[in-house]
Amino acid sequence: MRKRIRLHQVRVGMYVEELEGTVVAPSRIVGPILSPADIDLMMKSRAMSVVIDRRKGLDVDQGSRDGVENDLVSFAFDLNSRFGAEEIRLAREAIQDARPCIRDVLAEARTRGSFRLDAADKAVERIMLEAMTNAGAMIAVAKLKEKDEGTFLHSLAVSALMVTFGRNLGMSEQAVRLLGLGGLGHDLGKTVLPIELLRKPGKLTADELEVIRTHPARGYELVKQIDGMSKPVLDICLYHHEKFDGTGYPHRLTGSAIPQAARIAAICDVYDALTSVRPYKRAWSQAEAIETMTRSRGHFDPDLLNAFISKMVINGTIH
């Protein structure tokens, strides 16, 4: 009764047969998982997957409330095993500092259809400062998207990912700032869509999907109202759902016809969406997210995706 599960699904009470795809082999935790400390050790192994024996211990409790709660608990363990207490505290502080500014940006877009550049600038300044020394923890802490916090934290995480990726690509601080602003505002067009549509559980109809797909153009129109708004920010709003092979929207642009800032945004947007922990959805591990993104041939700029993997993932900037 062997079963392969993801690392973050390991719970106290399971019996671990094998850790797969790990460079570290903490052999002493192969066997029963007796305590949170054992889970901690497992997390440190950074294994791609884990094989459990369901006859000797618990199975994954999929879909139940318990399962979801365990997922959140596991996320906390995971976070504590990868970052120091001070790094986590500073990351939380930075997110708290940026919160009122981002909330203002989202509220202004929703109620007046306009872009609060001053507030967005302030938030990006704070994100850029924290990302200098503590990018990994800030991005990790923002992964836990609790109720009503999803939009705010997704905007912040995409902004932080783009700032960090831009720096790792050797871009100037001014160019990095524009990536950060674009990341913060990339989905602003969604704030003017009907809330029930955005929150609808399950599959959307073709008509509903069409409405959702208007959000890049709506966001672009909203941000464009600011005189002299920089091109990369507008490009990110309008083109972040374009795909490298021309199958994206709204304009089905291909390859380098998609502005670079938008190609960067596409990678950071999808990465954060896949790896986020939400109350109703299990998060994917970093390895699973990267594997899926690599397999999605045609979606992303392959050179930029390779750079993301080598300069952000393999070197441990985000983990």
CB within 8 Å of 251: residues ≥ 6 apart: 239, 242
**Out of 130, 187, 242, 272, the residue judged to bind Fe ion by CB under 5 A:** 187
Judged by CB under 5 A, the number of residues near Fe ion is 1
Q: Which stretch binds Fe ion (CB under 5 A): 72-80, 113-121, 124-132, 181-189?
A: 181-189
Residue closest to Fe ion when measured from CB atoms: 187
Q: Is 217 or 287 the residue whose CB approaches Fe ion more closely?
A: 217
Listed as own residue / partner, the contacts of 90-97 with beta carbons closer than 8 Å and 24 or more positions apart are 90/130, 90/134, 90/137, 91/130, 91/134, 91/137, 91/138, 91/140, 91/141, 92/141, 94/126, 94/127, 94/129, 94/130, 94/134, 94/138, 95/138, 95/141, 95/142, 95/153, 95/156, 97/126
Q: Which C-beta is closer to Fe ion: that of 34 or that of 209?
A: 209
- Say if CB 194 and CB 130 are below 8 A apart: no
- Does residue 235 interact with Fe ion by CB under 5 A? no
Considering the complex, state which of residue 29 and residue 181 has its C-beta at the smaller distance from Fe ion. 181
Instruction: Give, as one character, the DSSP assignment of residue 246.
Output: S
Q: Which stretch binds Fe ion (CB under 5 A): 100-108, 166-174, 179-187, 288-296?
A: 179-187
Supply the minimum distance, in Å, between the C-beta of residue 94 and Fe ion. Answer: 24
Nearest Cα residue to 219 out of 199, 198, 234: 234
C-beta neighbour count of 262 within 10 angstroms:
25
Stretch that binds Fe ion, among 57-65, 130-138, 139-147, 185-193 (CB under 5 A): 185-193
Q: Taking the complex as a whole, how short is the minimal distance between the CB of residue 187 and Fe ion, in angstroms?
A: 4
* CB of 78 or CB of 187, closer to Fe ion: 187
> Contact region for Fe ion (CB under 5 A) — 83-91, 166-174, 187-195, 205-213?
187-195
Q: Note the residues at the interface with Fe ion (CB under 5 A).
A: 187
